[in-house]
């Protein structure tokens, strides 16, 4: 009986810990979508996230982006490409820290086609 209670408490603790991490719920552009223009790179998180690094890679290599959102933990992050994006496939890689201090990372991609 004690083992069952202990096992149940351990499972509940593990499940609660797993839910505490932030994750990107939505992105702009939407993952695997095609756009004619991209004015901003946006991510919306379910819990505040401090985005510590973000890169945009396109058909000609890395694209310079300007963070519009600072280093504070936020639920909405935004960065702007420094140039109009030419046609091709793009990948956004990001890293950050959730409020509980755990490192997080993610990737999403999109295509620009005129």
* Predicted TM-score of the model (pTM): 0.80
Assigned fold of 22-112: Immunoglobulin-like (2.60.40)
Task: With beta carbons less than 8 A apart as the criterion, state whether 43 and 51 touch.
Answer: yes
pLDDT per residue as tens, the chain (114 positions): 545 444 443 444 333 344 456 667 899 999 999 999 999 999 999 999 999 999 999 999 999 999 999 999 999 999 999 999 999 999 999 999 998 999 999 999 999 998
Tell me which residue has tokens 């009986």.
Answer: 1
How is 36-75 classified by DSSP, letter by letter? Answer: S----EEEEEEEEEEEEEEEEEETTEEE-EEESS-SS-EE
Torsions phi, psi of 2, nearest 5?
-60, -35
Give domain limits for the chain.
22-112
- 47 CB neighbour count, 10 Å cutoff: 15
């Amino acid at each position: 009986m004690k083992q069952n209670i202990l096992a149940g408490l351990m499972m509940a603790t593990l499940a609660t810990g797993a839910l505490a991490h932030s994750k990107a719920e939505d992105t702009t552009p939407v993952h695997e979508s095609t756009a004619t223009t991209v004015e901003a790179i946006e991510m919306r998180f379910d819990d505040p996230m401090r985005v510590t690094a973000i890169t945009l890679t396109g058909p000609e290599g890395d694209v310079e982006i300007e963070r519009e959102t600072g280093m504070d933990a936020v639920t909405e992050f935004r960065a702007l490409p420094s140039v109009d994006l030419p046609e091709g496939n793009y990948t956004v890689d990001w890293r950050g820290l959730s409020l509980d201090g755990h490192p997080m990372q993610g990737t999403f991609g999109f295509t620009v086609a005129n």
